[in-house]
Amino acid sequence: MADSFIPLDRDGMAARAARDIPEGWVVNLGIGIPTEVANFIPADREVIIHSENGVIGAGPAPAPEAVNPYLVNAGTQPITLVRGAAYVHHADSFAIARGGHLDLTVLGAFEVSETGDIANWARAAHEPVAQIGGAMDLAIGAKRLWVIMEHTTKEGGSRLRRQCSYPLTAKGTVKRVFTNLAVLDVTPRGFVVRDIIPGLSFEDLQARTEAVLYRD
């Protein structure tokens, strides 16, 4: 029976996260799958996308012939603006992140712990080269931090852990995790399962997870 379920693909995870974002939220979407969340927010639901290079009100990618080379998002991809957008400089942009003005940040991660720690920037504590970018600021500053990631590594190891094995991006800040198998909230008890994909049981999910899971 363990083969009768179909894990969500990238779009599926992005769409599932988008479902939980209500109108009016100010949201920063990290590089990778999180960026794709914007594609699944209904056009009539006004959600304000912040990009940390100084955009409040980022819109979808332009048609190739309409690319404006002066207008990119935090992944340096060309974007458009929505009506009502504004630009700020980098210090003001991170004042938004650190100052608690984001209703939500969505990041990718290597690992999340049952206490809400997130590790998303390095696989060893003292690598000489570091790709941090804005993740640490975004992870500590938003009103809530959600993570989108595969439930397990390619080798089948659990990314939902009692403790992170990789260096932390921030401690105790993750509130919700969207994986290709489930949606889980980080609570004072630990991970509470809010949603499992069809065909997968709670026990099957627990078998794929190092951290202890709790029923909703």
Partner 1 sequence: MIDKFVRSAAEALDGVPDGATVLLAGFGDVGMAMTLLEGLIEQGARDLVLVCNSGGRDGSAVARLLTLGRVRKLVCSFVRPASDAGRLIAAGKLEFEVVPQGTLAERIRAAGAGIPAFYTPTAADTVLAEDREVREIGGRLCLLEYPLAGDLALVDAWEADRWGNLTYRDTQRNFNPIMAMAAKRTVAQTKHAVELGAIPPEHVMTSGIFVHHVLHVPD
In the complex, which residues of this chain contact partner 1 (CB under 8 A)? 23-24, 26, 46, 48, 50-57, 68-72, 76, 81, 83-91, 93-101, 125-138, 140-141, 167-172
Residue among 66 and 70 whose Cβ is closer to partner 1 = 70
Q: How is residue 179 annotated by DSSP?
A: -
CA dihedral 170, 132, 21, 210 (to 10 degrees): -50
Residue among 10 and 123 whose Cβ is closer to partner 1 = 123
Distance CA(111)–CA(113), nearest Å, equals 7
The CA-atom distances, in angstroms, between 189 and each of 54, 82, 193, 216 are 37, 40, 12, 11
Residue among 96 and 149 whose Cβ is closer to partner 1 = 96
Query: Do 142 and 96 form a contact (C-beta atoms < 8 A)?
Result: no
Q: How is residue 134 annotated by DSSP?
A: T
In the bound complex, what is the minimum distance in angstroms from residue 208's beta carbon to partner 1?
28
In the bound complex, what is the minimum distance in angstroms from residue 79's beta carbon to partner 1?
9
- The letter for the amino acid at 125 is A
Residue among 26 and 109 whose Cβ is closer to partner 1 = 26
In the set 23, 36, 46, 52, the catalytic residue is 52
CA 77 to chain CA mean position, Å: 18
Q: Is there a catalytic annotation at residue 36? A: no
Buried b (16+ CB within 10 A) or exposed e, 166-200: bbbbbeebbbbbbbbbbbbbbeeebbbbeebbeeb
Distance CA(132)–CA(129), nearest Å, equals 10
By CB neighbour count within 10 A (0-12 exposed, 13-18 middle, 19+ buried), where does 19 fall? middle
Residue among 52 and 185 whose Cβ is closer to partner 1 = 52
Catalytic residue ranges: 52
